[in-house]
Amino acid sequence: METDKKFYIVSFGDSRKYRVSQKNYDMIGAVKNELTEALSKQFPGQNICYYIKPQILEVDPDQSKEYENYPELDANGIDEIRKTLATGIEVMDENFKLDANARFADI
């Protein structure tokens, strides 16, 4: 019964944090694979390692009240994560271009 109450808080890159129950833990790997595929297609050749690496926090069931307002990771959450990460990659790329010495850069 104890493992039924066990859950995790997971985020990818700078995405929002989501709750994942113990029974859905394997979903994290599937989400990582889905994000890897989508972001690799959208940003070929771009380093996306930071964005696709899940940060996972195991939560003690006694602390569940602190995390009850976190959304469950589901299909809508995955789409939101993908959009957030894509925006982050675009901003990083634009900042890189702006930081280049424009006089000598190939912009």
What pTM, to 2 d.p., does this model score? 0.81
Tokens 């901003």 -> residue? 91
Task: Tell me if 52 is assigned to some domain.
Answer: yes
Q: What Cα–Cα distance (Å) separates residue 18 from each residue in 81, 99, 107?
A: 10, 33, 38
- pLDDT in single tens digits along all 107 residues of the chain: 355 678 999 999 999 999 999 999 999 999 999 999 999 999 998 889 999 999 999 998 888 899 999 999 998 999 999 999 999 999 988 887 777 766 666 65
In a domain, 40, yes or no: yes
Residue 105 lies in a domain: no
> Which residue segment(s) compose the domain that 31 sits in?
2-99
Query: How many domains are contained in the chain?
Result: 1
The answer to whether residue 104 sits within a structural domain is no
Asked if the structure places residue 57 within a domain, the reply is yes
